[in-house]
């Protein structure tokens, strides 16, 4: 929330009296400093913001590396379903008339394994959302990384699918912490000008994790021993350490510190995040005080609004469904759900999908690597578009592009299947991934960070992420049946299903998603 002096004229007398009661003799100073901070932030160019807040960028980038772990894990498991060594060890093998043997993980086990982590994620999100508001972002992230490091041992040493399932469920619990904390922290340690870039960077971390997993799996593809899947899991022992060390030395969110009355610590946090070498120490001190006043004013206004609607002082999940926060929650949850309904689950099963479409195993893994590389390029390009085009327009354009590619994919599934058709299907999925990561993939993270109120940000993000997780669980039940040769065996015709869901949710975007830019 950014204000200027003109906003004071629109505040009713009762609200003004409550602000005076809260700030006392500091009321005029807080209002003036808050307005000055607003003017400073809105007048600062993007380049100057990077120069003035480099530390906030660095801390946010390092903190968001936790998302790499989720992207890596999700891509890893679904790609194992197409890895010969994994399917030979854990799958059901059949012998054809010509003597060739083929092995496949059954659809029920594919559903159980892929959903296990997201079920754990729902549990983790609920725990992290409540605990983060009490203990802070940094402490919960350290707990999450410690749990992640411990639970990776289970799938690493797994000798059967039930043990794998237990490992996936337990690993999903710290995923919940990663999901809710990365966007919240990024949005609270940077000024509004940098918020779209640093929140959409979370999507780049997700894509980088997927790309890394694809590369590791491609490198171990020709192995026939247990290390074909143990090496990819062994690499996960590395990721928790840089994130944990970052949490030990990074500043806590000044917004969280302010909400808990730790104003001296909030001041020190802002001072650590802001770097102004072009001004004197005294001038920097004034800038820090102005920024802190803006936070205090925003929190005071939201606290007054909450008390007018609810006498309870404690922030609860039910508050996300009251008053204006209900609209905020709707936008956050539906924006996340659109990531599922636009065909993203097909990307998650891309390697297996390519194999079912007729490609060789080697080419399938190569195409998956190319797909996620395009996704990374798309995310970077989105940084140049998000403020120029706007969030709403990028969502509409992205959904339209994904609807088209899914429709064409479905049509290709209806023609005679040849090598050329298989490559055309692969090309459609590459285009779909690029469109996703150029538009709705990264923009979603900006939307949930911008639309939520500061006092309910963690809880709103938890609700939005859980909406995504529930949607993903449903899609993970359906997707294996669509592709598995022993079940529905739709193959590329699966594109018709996702084209339909994409078209339905485009209507919500058109009628209900407001423009949040500026």
Asked whether residue 518 is domain-assigned, the answer is no
CA angle 249, 255, 259 (to 5 degrees): 115
Give the chain's mean pLDDT.
Answer: 90
| Residue at 223 is within a domain | yes
Rounded to two decimals, the pTM is 0.89
pLDDT of 145 reads: 96
What's the number of CA atoms in the CB half-sphere (13 Å) around residue 214? Answer: 28
* Range of lowest pLDDT (55-64, 95-104, 394-403): 95-104
In a domain, 137, yes or no: yes
Handedness of CA 278, 281, 283, 285 (dihedral sign): positive
376, 211 in Cβ contact below 8 A? yes
- Phi then psi for residue 143, to 5 deg, are -65, -40
Are 228 and 86 contacting, i.e. CB atoms less than 8 angstroms apart? Answer: yes
Q: Name the percent of the chain lying above pLDDT 70.
A: 96
Residue of higher predicted confidence among 72 and 8? 72
pLDDT of residue 293: 95
- 33 part of a folded domain: no
Q: Tell me, yes or no, whether 266 lies in a domain.
A: no
Q: Is residue 287 part of a domain?
A: no
11 belongs to a structural domain:
no
Close Cβ partners of 409 (under 8 Å, ≥ 6 residues apart):
425, 428, 429, 432, 492, 494, 495
Residue 444 resides in a domain = yes
b/e sequence 411-450, b meaning 16+ C-beta within 10 Å: bbbeeeeeeebbbbbbbbbbbbbbbbbbbbbbbbbbbbbb
CATH of the domain at 325: 1.20.1250.20
Handedness of CA 237, 238, 239, 244 (dihedral sign): positive
DSSP 450-489: HHS-STTHHHHHHHHHHHHHHHHHHHHHHHHHHH-TTTT-
pLDDT in tens, 479-500: 888 887 778 889 889 999 999 9
Spatial distance between the Cα atoms of 175 and 213, rounded to a whole number of angstroms: 16
Residue 44 DSSP SS3: coil
Q: How far apart are CA 64 and CA 201, in angstroms?
A: 8
Main-chain phi, psi angles of 102, to 5 degrees: -130, 140
Residue 311: the pLDDT is 47
How many domains in the chain? 1
Residue 83, Cα to own-chain centre: how many angstroms?
27
Which residues is 92 bridged to in the sheet? 104
Task: Give tens-digit pLDDT for 346-396.
Answer: 887 888 888 877 788 888 889 989 999 999 999 999 999 998 999 999 999
Q: Which domain holds residue 152?
A: 56-92+102-254+317-512
């Amino acid at each position: 929330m950014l204000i200027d002096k003109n906003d004071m004229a629109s505040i009713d007398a009762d609200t003004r009296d409550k602000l005076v009661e809260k700030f006392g003799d500091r009321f005029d100073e807080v209002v003036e400093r808050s307005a000055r901070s607003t003017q400073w932030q809105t007048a600062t160019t993007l380049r100057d913001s990077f120069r003035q807040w480099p530390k906030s960028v660095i801390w946010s980038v390092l903190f968001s590396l936790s998302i790499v772990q989720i992207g890596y894990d999700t891509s890893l498991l679904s790609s194992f379903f197409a890895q010969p060594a994994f399917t030979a060890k854990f799958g059901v093998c059949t012998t054809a008339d010509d003597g060739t043997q083929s092995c496949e993980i059954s659809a029920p086990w594919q559903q159980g394994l892929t959903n296990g982590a997201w079920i754990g994620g729902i549990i983790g999100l609920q725990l992290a959302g409540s605990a983060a508001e009490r203990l802070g972002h940094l402490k919960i992230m350290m707990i999450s990384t410690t749990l992640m490091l411990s639970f990776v041992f289970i799938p690493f040493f797994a000798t059967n699918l039930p043990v794998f399932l237990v490992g996936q469920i337990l690993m999903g619990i710290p995923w919940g912490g990663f999901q809710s904390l990365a966007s919240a922290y990024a949005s609270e340690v940077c000024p509004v000008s940098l918020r779209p870039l640093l929140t959409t960077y979370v999507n780049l971390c997700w894509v980088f994790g997927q790309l890394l997993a694809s590369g590791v799996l491609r490198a171990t593809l020709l192995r026939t021993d247990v290390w074909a899947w143990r090496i990819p899991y062994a690499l996960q022992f590395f990721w928790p350490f840089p994130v944990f060390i970052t949490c030990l030395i990074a500043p806590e969110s000044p917004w969280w510190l302010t909400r808990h009355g730790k104003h001296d610590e909030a001041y020190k946090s802002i001072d650590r995040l802001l770097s102004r070498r072009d001004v004197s120490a005294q001038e920097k001190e004034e800038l820090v005080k102005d920024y802190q006043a803006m936070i205090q004013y925003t929190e005071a206004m939201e606290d007054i609004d909450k008390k007018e609607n609810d006498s309870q002082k404690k922030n609860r999940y039910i508050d996300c469904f009251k008053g204006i926060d209900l609209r905020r929650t709707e936008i956050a949850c539906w924006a996340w759900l659109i990531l599922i309904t636009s065909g993203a689950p097909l990307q998650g099963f891309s390697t297996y999908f390519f194999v079912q479409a007729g490609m060789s195993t080697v080419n399938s893994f190569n195409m998956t690597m190319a797909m996620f590389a395009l996704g990374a390029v798309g995310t970077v390009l989105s940084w140049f578009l998000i403020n120029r085009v706007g969030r709403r327009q990028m969502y509409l354009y992205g959904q339209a592009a994904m609807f088209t590619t899914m429709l064409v994919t479905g049509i290709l599934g209806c023609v005679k299947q040849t090598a050329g058709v298989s490559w055309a299907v692969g090309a459609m999925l590459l285009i779909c991934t690029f469109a996703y990561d150029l538009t709705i993939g990264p923009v979603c993270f900006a939307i949930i960070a911008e639309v939520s109120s500061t006092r309910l940000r963690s809880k709103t993000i938890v609700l939005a992420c859980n909406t995504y997780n529930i949607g993903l669980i449903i899609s993970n039940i359906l997707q294996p049946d669509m592709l598995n040769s022993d079940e529905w065996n739709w193959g590329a015709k699966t594109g018709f299903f996702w084209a339909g869901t994409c078209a339905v949710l485009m209507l919500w975007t058109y009628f209900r998603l407001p423009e949040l830019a500026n």
